[in-house]
Structure 1
Amino acid sequence: MQFPAEFLGEKLASVLATYGFGSPLPELLIEPCADPRFGDLQSNAALILGKRHGREPRMLAAELAASVGATEWSLPPEVAGPGFLNFRLKPDRCVSAFFSLIGDSRLGIEEAKEPQRVVVDFSSPNIAKEMHVGHLRSTILGECLARVYRFLGHRVTTVNHLGDWGTQFGMVLLGFKRHGEEARLEERPLEYLEELYQQIQSAAKENPAIREEAKAELWKLQNGDPENLALWRRFIAASQVELSRLYEELGVHFDFTMGESAYRDQLPSVVRDLQASGIAQPSQGAVCVFFPDDPELQDKPFLIQKSDGAYLYATTDLAALRFRVEEWKADRILYITDGRQRLHFQQLAATAKRWGLPVRIEHVWFGSILGEDKKPLKTREGKPIKLRELLAEALRRAYAILAEKRPDLPEERKVRIARAVGLGALKYADLSQNRNLDYVFRWEKLLSFEGNTAPYLLNAYVRIRAILRKADASGISAAHGPLREPTELRLVKLLLDFCPTLERVESESRPHFLCTYLYEVARAFHRFYESCPVLQPGPHPGTESVGSQRAARLALCQGTAATLGTGLDLLGIERLEEM
């Protein structure tokens, strides 16, 4: 179905066309009004276009308001402030649209008419090292975006690009040959291999000969030495088993796990192709891509082969990029990494454009997770917090809260609920932030049942499901009926904004829009529930009957539960039926 934001966006675009405002129009012509007292939807088009074309914004807004006028969805728009257009939706039209969604598993959201092939590259830890807290953001952000794009109808391929061919393997190989313990490799491979790496790295600082031995082991690996290849394959296999356990606990799944090593045979051809096309050039014995026509990159060459003939991370990324375009037919590739790699992906995108690869590259970057001291979150010893330790702590704290609030629950259910609440709270605390910003990690805040948190959303969902079960047990079914109270209408209008919210998440790769939306839905539901009894409504002037009012409010509960449940699914947070 067509939702009010989409309808009004098209209406406004057609009016702007008559004024000669062609492309490019503002990306978001219509968005939710920040304060519902001033309207339901809002546009800042007059502000943007007025400034761009030398028109006084407020006067332009008044002209646009008169041209738009009343529509099937809205009253004539009002001009506010320096030139905002505020739209108030017609209650009856909204209620009618809401009832058409009841029972639709997709809540009226149609799949993309022109689906794209989207590759989402995320998590990407290094083999032979434990995942730390920094990997959490990439992992859950990538999983969430993949779920949203799939829901909207795109053909999504998720890939975990493992660091499995780097210089650290020379030290790990040397360490295992000197101190290897089979039992420890089997028990905790990532922890053990990282320990071996740190031992050799520390020794190499004191003794340059050890560093040379490690380089020799790496050279043997990269040149096909059977013993080193066999050990390397064992390290990879053992590490992937442990990584899989972590991903399974987080509810994260990949279509492909392909490390840097998957492209190692393609690296020479990448350099040859770029040189043959004049994109890459020799420079002081190395090979670089230069960007003479890009003001931002003119003095920042992209190094793809070192003077000693070695290839780099950039070369591997170019080989992977070519593979994804040629084999997977990718239209769009999202790389989910921290903000420190912005220059790298800017160079990668610029190289791909010059190379003629028909793909849109997006670097979905994020800030850091900070401790209470506003510095990157670390242990008391100053080391990065291991991801497995963070997950265990989340479960422990959630279990303690649940044990206090619900001591009556059987142990098995207590553990299951604590897992959903703990992991959900950890994910939501991250996804609800503007990804480009750093944020301070506080256990008390993320596990709170008040405010913009996962426990608050889960509690709202659980409450609504309990209402629906009681209604079902009483033989009451949801149906069309009167919805006229302000809190009823506020909730109805919010539920009609689910599709535009997801489209905004997709266009900007920012899940915090979805989190904010779900929080507003949950808040609106609680206000509705407090002011409008559902199962035992009182008489209401002008309603046909108490029964029809009760049925309509149950329908509102049903629609809210479906929206919250779908939203939780897209965030990767497990639904609960009790808390």
Structure 2
Amino acid sequence: MESQLDQITKHCENLERAADELSSRVTALAEGQAAATDGISDAEYVTLLVHNKKLKYRAQILQKGIAEYSPPKSALSDLPNSVGSTSSSAAPAKSASRVPPLPEVPKDSMCAILQHLEAVFERAVRVAFPQHTAPVNTQIQLSKMADYQCNVAMALAKILRQNPRVVGQAVLDAAGTSPLIANMQLSGSGFINITLSTGFIREQVTRLVTHGVTPPPLNKRKVAVDFSSPNIAKEMHVGHLRSTIIGDSICRLLEFLGHDVLRINHLGDWGTQFGMLIAHLQDRFPNYLKTPPAISDLQGFYKESKKRFDEDEQFKVRAYKAVVQLQGHDPDHINGWTMICDISKREFNKVYERLDVKLSPYGESFYQSRMEAIVADLEQRGLLEQARIQEDETDRKDDRKFMYSNTVEEPQTVMPLIMVKSDGGFTYDTSDMACIRYRTQELDVDWLIYVTDAGQLQHFKSFRAAAARAGYFNSATTRMDHVMFGVVLGEDRKKFKTRSGDTVRLVELLEEGLVRAEAILKEKGRDEALSQQEFDHVKEAVAYGCIKYADLCHDRTRDYVFSFDRMLDFKGNTAAYLLYALTRICSIARTAGVSSGSLLTEARKEPMQLEHEKEWKLARTLLKLPDVILKLTEDLYLHPLCEFLYEVSTVFSEFYDNCYCVEKDKDGNITKIHTSRLLLCEATATVFKQCLAILGIKTVERM
């Protein structure tokens, strides 16, 4: 069977031949050669002239297409879909102009190797098999035979019903050249083994020393990350720990990548409970407007007011009146509310300062007028409904106002939102709808991230669907992610509680972490090796870093067991071990008496020399980072970054055990310094520091 290329070429030759014949006849007519014109009339002459011009133009276009197209003949000769084929699986050939160019290596940032290789082989498939218009899964993975392996031929051969080795060879022939790739070879039944260029590896790992970790290029977005979200007048507890830590790390990741990130703390600062608190404030501190009370235990104050609200009917009536006056913006009630909010925010900030977390508070009160506008808008557009309820065989109207999503996607899991309560008040549903409208329409955010526990999944699905129906959210222009997480368990694998059964206060948890970290560091004699200032810095870095890392190193959707003994262990995949590993790496150059400045000077002279196999292994491992970071942005799971960091520490240990960076004689005197290996240590430390920074963990130079 003739190949597509042969048929196109033959068709082009036929057109040219026809054009030449017509041209000869037209020329003969113009010169008056009667024998050649065979009695052609003037009208026929004009028709021939026009037709000749069209044929020549078509011939030129086809010749140009052949020159640009030029895929390997081995690829086309085995295609089942020849020109004129009636096979139902045949697809029109993709024009050469739609084949993407070979990807370039970024000049001002680290190269995401996997992403680059995927682009190379996706293009190769388009060139080799232009009739295959479906998305291409290039299936690039690490290889034992080389650096990477492309397995696209296996899946593609099933679709094309061809021999996978023939398909693999066609893809290989069409792959072109890339500065990343030194060699590509076909093996087995169609696998393509890829060996990276040693020059590329040397240049990229040296760049880590000269330029630091630079993010791979991508489209920048404006992102709103909603996380932490404690309630005013209640202390932060262990339930807020995961949202705060995960949300902060996601913000750090996106900020590193260059996105415009809004760190939003959606505070619960409005509602019925504030009438209760203000009424109790008036009773406990009658002179509060002139002399602000020093309420040190706001949680206790809240419990007192709640007890009165539950037990004292007169107090309850006063509390409800206080709510009405607060919502009516009575100055005295607003002042009392402001005092309570300020006290609570100061306590929150103590926790955030310890964890080095920055947030912009947006209380529910901020959205009050926007909630009113939301309800009016939805009502005017006929999107709110009143349900009827059956009670004691009496059918009566429910005064609540609902909004249904009318979604066909998972209808059994998408519940209606209650936008207005029976007393006319608003709900969390109303607040969340106002939030999403404010963020997409007023702040022009095009990426929304909500960090909450998995118990909010149903609510998230419902308000997402309702927001889409209302036109406040469009998935085509705005990305929305619900970053779910499991609960924190005690070592008994039950929900983490104090011995008395109360929820663990976050301040107490952090304080206990400090105490335990100090005890372990003193046990190791670190208090004698470090100054008091250094010791305090290390203690905080270890305590808070271990708490964060213990959370982030797990799949966030699963519950995890909180154990100080485990997280403060200096062995295994813990922050304590990684921080200690970093101090060891930093100490190597210090021991050699080589400064970071002199290493930087050396790195700028020429790419570092990598000779030992363990040097190459470490360099290749470090260069995985851009792809790891890009993967994090896809699903917002952070534990792969922890796994990568632990892998780097393990590979570095192999390198350090096999490759002397500094050689000494039997008396301990330095006899030789391997500058290139010190540069590799510096590159490793750079990667360590950036990964830990994304995780929100402070680093130390000495421990």
Tell me, yes or no, if the aligned pair for 2:209 and 2:682 is still in contact at 8 Å: yes
Can you give the 5+ residue segments of structure 2 that lack an aligned partner in the other structure? 1-105, 388-397, 666-670
RMSD value over aligned CA atoms? 3.2
Query: For residues 216 and 334 of structure 1, do their structure 2 counterparts lie closer, same or farther at Cα, with a shift above 3 Å needed?
Result: same
Query: For residues 369 and 63 of structure 1, do their structure 2 counterparts lie closer, same or farther at Cα, with a shift above 3 Å needed?
Result: farther
- Counterpart in 2 of 1:555? 679
- Counterpart in 2 of 1:109? 215
- Counterpart in 2 of 1:134? 239
Deviation of the 1:295 alpha carbon: 3.6
Deviation of the 1:365 alpha carbon: 1.2
Q: Does 1:230 align with 2:335?
A: yes
Query: For residues 509 and 164 of structure 1, do their structure 2 counterparts lie closer, same or farther at Cα, with a shift above 3 Å needed?
Result: same
Tell me, yes or no, if the aligned pair for 1:124 and 1:161 is still in contact at 8 Å: yes
- Counterpart in 2 of 1:467? 588
Query: For residues 47 and 147 of structure 1, do their structure 2 counterparts lie closer, same or farther at Cα, with a shift above 3 Å needed?
Result: farther
Deviations 1:341-372 (A, max 9, x none): 11222222222222333432211111111111
- Counterpart in 1 of 2:366? 262
Distance 2:154 2:380 in 1: 49
Tell me, yes or no, if the aligned pair for 1:334 and 1:362 is still in contact at 8 Å: yes
Q: In the TM superposition, what are the counterparts of 1:44-443 in structure 2 within 5 Å?
A: 62=168, 66=172, 72=178, 73-74=180-181, 75-76=183-184, 87-105=194-212, 107-112=213-218, 114-180=219-285, 186=294, 188=296, 192-206=297-311, 210-254=315-359, 256-283=360-387, 284-297=398-411, 300-357=415-472, 358=474, 359-405=478-524, 406-408=526-528, 409-443=530-564
Q: Does 1:501 align with 2:625?
A: no
Distance 1:415 1:140 in 2: 22
Bigger Cα displacement from structure 2, 440-449 vs 168-177: 168-177
Secondary structure, aligned partner of 1:161: strand
Distance 1:438 1:61 in 2: 45
- Counterpart in 1 of 2:8? none
Deviations 1:309-347 (A, max 9, x none): 111111111112222223321011111111111122222
Deviation of the 1:267 alpha carbon: 1.2
Distance 1:162 1:47 in 2: 53
Secondary structure, aligned partner of 2:262: strand
Q: Which amino acid aligns with 2:234?
A: K
Tell me, yes or no, if the aligned pair for 2:578 and 2:649 is still in contact at 8 Å: yes
Deviation of the 1:194 alpha carbon: 2.4
Secondary structure, aligned partner of 1:285: strand
Query: For residues 175 and 95 of structure 1, do their structure 2 counterparts lie closer, same or farther at Cα, with a shift above 3 Å needed?
Result: same
Tell me, yes or no, if the aligned pair for 1:30 and 1:41 is still in contact at 8 Å: no
Query: For residues 94 and 341 of structure 1, do their structure 2 counterparts lie closer, same or farther at Cα, with a shift above 3 Å needed?
Result: same
Distance 2:376 2:136 in 1: 42
Bigger Cα displacement from structure 2, 170-179 vs 4-13: 170-179
Tell me, yes or no, if the aligned pair for 1:537 and 1:550 is still in contact at 8 Å: no
Deviations 1:145-181 (A, max 9, x none): 1111111111111111111013322332233334459
Bigger Cα displacement from structure 2, 170-179 vs 159-168: 170-179
Query: For residues 212 and 76 of structure 1, do their structure 2 counterparts lie closer, same or farther at Cα, with a shift above 3 Å needed?
Result: farther
Q: Does 1:575 align with 2:683?
A: no
- Counterpart in 1 of 2:565? 444
- Counterpart in 2 of 1:542? none
Deviation of the 1:126 alpha carbon: 0.4
- Counterpart in 2 of 1:543? none
Distance 1:207 1:184 in 2: 26
Q: Which has the larger radius of gyration?
A: 2
Distance 2:586 2:694 in 1: 19
Choose the corresponding residue for 1:10, options 108, 119, 129. Answer: 119
Query: For residues 151 and 77 of structure 1, do their structure 2 counterparts lie closer, same or farther at Cα, with a shift above 3 Å needed?
Result: farther
Distance 2:421 2:154 in 1: 50
Bigger Cα displacement from structure 2, 69-78 vs 433-442: 69-78
Tell me, yes or no, if the aligned pair for 1:61 and 1:79 is still in contact at 8 Å: no
Distance 1:97 1:493 in 2: 10
Deviation of the 1:537 alpha carbon: 8.8
Q: Does 1:532 align with 2:641?
A: no
Q: Which amino acid aligns with 1:354?
A: R
Tell me, yes or no, if the aligned pair for 2:112 and 2:216 is still in contact at 8 Å: no
- Counterpart in 1 of 2:91? none
Task: Give aligned-pair identity as a percent.
Answer: 34
Deviation of the 1:59 alpha carbon: 7.2
Deviation of the 1:100 alpha carbon: 3.8
Q: Which amino acid aligns with 2:655?
A: F
Deviations 1:129-158 (A, max 9, x none): 000111111111111111111111111111
Distance 2:376 2:170 in 1: 56
Q: Does 1:564 align with 2:688?
A: yes
Choose the corresponding residue for 2:643, options 513, 516, 526. Answer: 516
Q: Aligned residues, how many?
A: 559
Tell me, yes or no, if the aligned pair for 2:202 and 2:608 is still in contact at 8 Å: no
Distance 2:140 2:541 in 1: 32
Secondary structure, aligned partner of 2:210: coil
Q: Which amino acid aligns with 1:441?
A: F
Tell me, yes or no, if the aligned pair for 1:172 and 1:193 is still in contact at 8 Å: no
Distance 1:50 1:210 in 2: 77
Deviation of the 1:514 alpha carbon: 1.3
- Counterpart in 2 of 1:541? none
Secondary structure, aligned partner of 1:536: strand
Deviations 1:227-253 (A, max 9, x none): 322111100111111211211111111
Q: Which amino acid aligns with 1:186?
A: A
Query: For residues 67 and 443 of structure 1, do their structure 2 counterparts lie closer, same or farther at Cα, with a shift above 3 Å needed?
Result: farther
Q: Which amino acid aligns with 1:362?
A: D
Distance 2:125 2:292 in 1: 68
Deviation of the 1:60 alpha carbon: 9.6
Q: Which amino acid aligns with 1:109?
A: P
Deviation of the 1:58 alpha carbon: 7.3
Tell me, yes or no, if the aligned pair for 2:370 and 2:434 is still in contact at 8 Å: yes
Distance 1:209 1:84 in 2: 80
Query: For residues 187 and 219 of structure 1, do their structure 2 counterparts lie closer, same or farther at Cα, with a shift above 3 Å needed?
Result: closer
Distance 1:259 1:49 in 2: 53
Tell me, yes or no, if the aligned pair for 1:65 and 1:76 is still in contact at 8 Å: no
Tell me, yes or no, if the aligned pair for 1:16 and 1:22 is still in contact at 8 Å: no
Query: For residues 121 and 45 of structure 1, do their structure 2 counterparts lie closer, same or farther at Cα, with a shift above 3 Å needed?
Result: farther
- Counterpart in 1 of 2:20? none
Alignment TM-score, normalising by the size of structure 1: 0.87
Distance 1:121 1:391 in 2: 23
- Counterpart in 1 of 2:80? none
